[in-house]
């Protein structure tokens, strides 16, 4: 049952309001002065959905109590009644977030409509507040798991950074190391946590579409733009904008982004009006941006504007001692999701997991554990569904290979670097299997995730 708090010093009118709303199914609490209202709201911590208050009370102005309540995180909707209707009070009520300011006497039919609107607004605010609270709990600093020195270092840095109102943060690290997780931790544990968290993957959209998504557009800005569109920067106002894979953004768009970040203003495509935005910007990349700057692929001024503070996340192979703890956490997660009962990780399975290099990092480990748990049939984590390369690759006798086209000859005189050998092997195998990733991974004795990572790394996508 929803609670309605009524603060009204006129006994007859207060009792009449109480009976009226109780007949509608409300749990009504009626007090006669600000002192009692403050006791309920700030000390007893009741959480009424709506507060219906007289403006002028024997011990003060109802707006003062609203101001105190808002300072403690109150999410109730407030409706004020007054017999005087001073313009200054009405303006202050709006600034404090009161939903309506009504003059006495007011008809109950009109009051019912106002209270109904207040209910809808209050419930929407409660949903947002509950969601923010749950996300804060989910994305605490401890969400970056691990007991290694590297993991503790990351948590220490994040704990320091989130308490500082930085305008922008750059997050570096290989694919799958948790850059998106750190961005969310910084948002939900920082000053922007009450605002929205908006994410955009800069590599997922072509330049023209990315520009429209970031800055929005007006009707007629381009073919197909039939209505106005609020861009992601505008949607992130008051919160955080997370630009994933920032290194892939077109240089011309980088210049426009830099201007918007520096001036806190943007202009929609096809628009003339400047829109003011207040956002915290977080960017992530798995590339060396300094090298990209030297190559002319990334603007140095944008880099320095974004990298007010930099956090670089370690690869999983650099903190192998964290693997057992991560495995246990992922098993618990997927046991709960799929109603499975995996309890034990055989020593040989754990040894394989710790020996593997994890090019896809924590994301790849999570995917491997998810697959293994979902396909398990008992309490042990099965070995057969890991589908990762063994720690040591067995030597195949030449006699086992009949077709010479299946051989690759590599020089061992120092003329070819190890990475070049790796690239040549993958490129040749892809050619033999018509760029079929599954077949190539099978032939090379590796996983599709690992192979896709190396294809992207070496730029071996099929033209």
pLDDT digits (tens, 9 = 90+) for 346-376: 999 999 999 999 999 999 999 999 999 999 9
Q: What does the domain layout of the chain look like in residue ranges? A: 3-135, 145-312, 316-374, 403-458
Q: Is the predicted pLDDT of residue 393 greater than 50, yes or no?
A: no
CATH code for residues 3-135: 3.40.50.2300
Q: Are 258 and 302 in contact (CB under 8 A)?
A: yes
Q: Is 452 exposed, middle or buried (0-12, 13-18, 19+ CB in 10 A)?
A: middle
Burial class (CB in 10 A: 0-12, 13-18, 19+), 261: buried
Under the banding of pLDDT at 50, 70 and 90, the label for residue 404 is low
Q: What is the mean pLDDT of the chain?
A: 87
Question: What does the pLDDT read at residue 397?
Answer: 45
The DSSP element (H or E) to which 405 belongs, if any, is none
Backbone angles phi, psi at 230, to 5 degrees: -80, 125
Percent of the chain residues past pLDDT 70, beyond the cut: 92
399 pLDDT band, cuts 50/70/90, is very low
Query: Looking up tokens 């998504």, which residue turns up?
Result: 213
| Span 282-337, pLDDT tens digits | 999 999 999 999 999 999 999 999 999 999 999 999 999 999 999 999 999 999 99
Level-2 CATH architecture, domain 403-458:
Orthogonal Bundle (1.10)
Q: pLDDT tens-digit profile of 172-204?
A: 999 999 999 999 999 988 888 888 899 999 988
Q: How far is CA 258 from the centre of its chain?
A: 22
The pLDDT of residue 348: 93
Q: Has residue 457 got a pLDDT over 90?
A: no
CATH 1.10.540.10 fits 316-374, yes or no: no
pLDDT band at 103 (very low <50, low <70, confident <90, very high): confident
Return the CATH fold of 145-312: Rossmann fold (3.40.50)
Pairing of strands 77-82, 100-103: parallel
pLDDT tier for residue 421 given thresholds of 50, 70 and 90: confident
Q: Has this prediction a pTM greater than 0.75?
A: no
Q: What is the reported pLDDT for 289?
A: 92
Say if residue 420's pLDDT is above 70. Answer: yes
Q: Is a pLDDT exceeding 60 seen at residue 463?
A: no
Alpha helices in 162-294 (DSSP H): 179-188, 207-215, 232-235, 251-263, 289-294
Query: Looking at residue 398, what is its pLDDT?
Result: 47
Rg (CA), the chain: 30
User: According to the model, what pLDDT value does residue 396 have?
Assistant: 44
Region 226-248: what's the mean pLDDT? 92
Measure the CA–CA gap between 346 and 445, rounded to whole angstroms.
22
Task: Give whole-number Cα distances, 265 to 89, 220, 261, 278, in Å.
Answer: 32, 22, 7, 8
- Same fold yes or no, 316-374 and 403-458: no
Q: Is the pLDDT of residue 435 over 80?
A: yes
Q: Of the candidates 156, 160, 227, 238, which has an alpha carbon nearest to the alpha carbon of residue 196?
A: 238
pLDDT, one tens digit per residue, over 21-76 is: 999 999 999 999 999 999 999 888 788 999 999 988 999 999 999 999 888 878 88
pLDDT at 401 over 60: no
pLDDT value of position 394: 43
Question: Does the pLDDT at position 392 exceed 50?
Answer: no
User: How far apart are the C-alpha atoms of 22 and 27, rounded to whole Å?
Assistant: 6
Least confident of 206-215, 340-349, 407-416: 407-416
């Amino acid at each position: 049952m929803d609670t309605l708090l009524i603060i009204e010093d006129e006994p007859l009118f207060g009792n009449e309001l109480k009976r009226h709303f109780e007949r509608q199914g409300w749990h009504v609490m009626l007090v006669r002065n600000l002192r009692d209202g403050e006791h309920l709201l700030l000390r007893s911590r009741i959480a009424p959905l709506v507060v219906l208050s007289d403006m002028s009370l024997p011990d003060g102005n109802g707006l003062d109590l609203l101001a105190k309540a808002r300072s403690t995180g109150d999410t109730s909707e407030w409706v004020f009644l007054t017999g005087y209707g001073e313009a200054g009070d009405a303006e202050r009520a709006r600034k404090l977030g009161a939903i309506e300011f009504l003059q006495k006497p007011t008809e109950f039919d009109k009051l019912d409509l106002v209270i109904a609107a207040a209910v809808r607004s209050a419930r929407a605010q409660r949903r947002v507040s509950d969601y923010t609270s749950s996300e804060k709990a989910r994305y605490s600093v401890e969400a970056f798991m691990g007991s290694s020195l590297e993991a503790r270092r990351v948590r220490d840095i994040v704990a320091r950074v989130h308490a500082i109102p930085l305008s922008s943060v750059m997050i570096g690290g290989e694919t799958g190391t948790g850059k998106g997780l750190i961005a969310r931790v910084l948002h939900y544990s920082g000053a922007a946590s009450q605002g929205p968290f908006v994410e955009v993957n800069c590599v997922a959209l072509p330049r023209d579409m990315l520009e429209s998504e970031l800055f929005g557009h007006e009707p007629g800005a381009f073919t197909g733009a039939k209505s106005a569109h609020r861009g992601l920067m505008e949607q992130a106002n008051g919160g955080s904008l997370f630009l994933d894979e920032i290194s892939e953004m077109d240089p011309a768009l980088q210049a426009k982004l830099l201007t918007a970040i520096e001036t806190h203003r943007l202009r929609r495509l096809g628009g003339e009006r400047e829109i003011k935005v207040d956002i915290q910007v977080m960017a992530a990349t798995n590339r060396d941006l300094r090298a990209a700057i030297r190559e002319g692929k990334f603007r140095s001024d944008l880099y320095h504007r974004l990298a007010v503070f930099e956090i670089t996340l370690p690869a999983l192979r650099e903190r192998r001692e964290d693997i057992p703890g991560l495995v246990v956490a992922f098993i618990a997660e997927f046991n709960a999701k799929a109603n499975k009962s995996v309890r034990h990780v055989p020593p040989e399975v754990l040894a394989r997991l710790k020996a593997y290099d994890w090019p896809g990092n924590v994301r790849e480990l999570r995917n491997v554990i998810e697959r293994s748990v979902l396909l398990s049939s008992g309490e042990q984590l099965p070995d057969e569904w890991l589908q990762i390369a063994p720690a040591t690759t067995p030597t195949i006798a030449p006699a086992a290979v009949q077709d010479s086209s299946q051989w690759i000859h590599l020089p061992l005189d120092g003329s070819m670097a190890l990475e070049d050998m790796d690239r040549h092997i993958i490129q040749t195998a892809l050619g033999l299997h018509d760029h079929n990733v599954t077949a190539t991974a099978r032939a090379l004795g590796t996983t599709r995730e690992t192979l896709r990572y190396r294809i992207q790394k070496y730029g071996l996508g099929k033209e």
